[in-house]
Structure 1
Amino acid sequence: MDTALGSIARYHGLSFRTPSLGGYLYAFAHHSKSGLGHIPESEHAHFQAKIVKQRNKYMHEAGAFPHHEEEVKKILSEMQACMARIVAL
C-alpha cells in the first residue's frame, strides 16, 4: 500500500513530508494541486487510525499480530476502501 500510494502521489506531483503511508495520506488531504480532489479530514483521520496506526503496531511492536481472522479482514477492507477513494480523486 505504501508503494501504491507513493506512486500515485508522485504521479500527481504531490509533495509529502516523509515517504510513508501517513505522509502520503496527509498529502492527499492537504495538497494544493488544482484538478485533483482531496480526501476530507474526517477520512484522513479515519484511514490514519484504522490503517496506519494498526499497520505500524503490527510492523513495529514485538510480538504484535492480529489475533483473529476478523482483524485481518477489517484492516484489508479498510485498505481497499482507502485505495478506491484515492484512485477516484
Structure 2
Amino acid sequence: MIYCHNYNHVIPCLHCHPHSYIRMVQHLIERCLLLYMNRQQCVKALAKYASIRPCITITVWRELEKENKDFFEAYFQALSLQAFYGHI
C-alpha cells in the first residue's frame, strides 16, 4: 500500500496518490456490493468506517455504474427483489 509520507496516512492519500485512493474507494464499494448495500448505505458506511467523503464515494459509484451497466441493472433488480421478498 502507498502511504503519504508527509502526513503518515495509513491509507493512500487523495492528494498525494489520487489514483491509489480512487482504487481503494472502488474496492470498498465492491465490498459493499457483496453485502447487497444500496448506494446510500454504501456512502454512509464508507463515511463512517473509512472516513471517505460522500462526494467521492458517489462519484466513484457513478463511474462504476457507467462502466458496468449490465451488472448494475441486475444488481438493482436483486435489491428490489430483496426488498420485496426479504433478505436473499
Structure 1 length-normalised TM: 0.31
Larger Rg: 2
Highest RCO, 1 vs 2 (Cα 8 Å, sep ≥ 6)? 1
Structure 2 length-normalised TM: 0.31
